[in-house]
Amino acid sequence: MAGQRSRITRHGMVNGQPLVKELDEFNAPEIKKVMQETRGGAFIPGEIMVGLEKMNSKFKVKGANQELLAAFGLAAGELCQVDVKESQQDEDGNNFAIAYSLTGEVISITESASKMGELPDQELEMAISAYKKTESGKVIYDIDRNAQILNLGNGDLMAVHRRNIGMP
């Protein structure tokens, strides 16, 4: 059985701007099902999934440059692309390549307090419209709101429903 994992190195890209030493923190979107109660004529109620909650992501950057911060001022319809790749290793020496790909709109930028002797940082928050996470090439999540793709690791749950309405 594999032991605890450690992040060894990480690389990020935001709209083509490379982030290595600048990417301080990255919070992947929370994937949470929206459930509704079912009862009908049943004595014991149940729940059924009716969708996913909206996805947001945050990342903190040390010393963001103007090109990176310009992602906040994208015009309507323009999307920001964030790619984060990590290399992890467990206690047994096994290595794992983790890749996150997020597409969405930057909805806020928060600058840290200006203090002498401390590095300036900015926290960017995104509203996510597409999110894909893989581990060593295997899909963990592949969610795309516009294309109606919902893969939670066991295949696309929406494929048959897209076909039912004539979508590819």
- Name the one residue in this structure whose structure tokens are 């310009």: 70
Domain assignment present for residue 150? The answer is no
Domain assignment present for residue 13? The answer is yes
Q: State the average pLDDT for the chain.
A: 92
Number of domains comprising the chain: 1
Measured in degrees and rounded to the nearest 5, phi and psi for residue 20 equal: -120, -75
Q: What is the 8-class DSSP label of residue 115?
A: -
- For residue 21 the two structure tokens come to 């030493």
Taking residues 7-21, report their average pLDDT.
91
- CATH number reported for the structural domain that contains residue 13 in this entry: 2.30.110.20
**Tens of pLDDT, residues 41-91:** 889 999 999 999 999 999 999 987 777 777 777 777 789 999 999 999 999
**Tens of pLDDT, residues 144-168:** 999 999 999 999 999 999 999 999 8
Pick the closest to residue 129 from 55, 77, 71, 58 (CA basis).
55
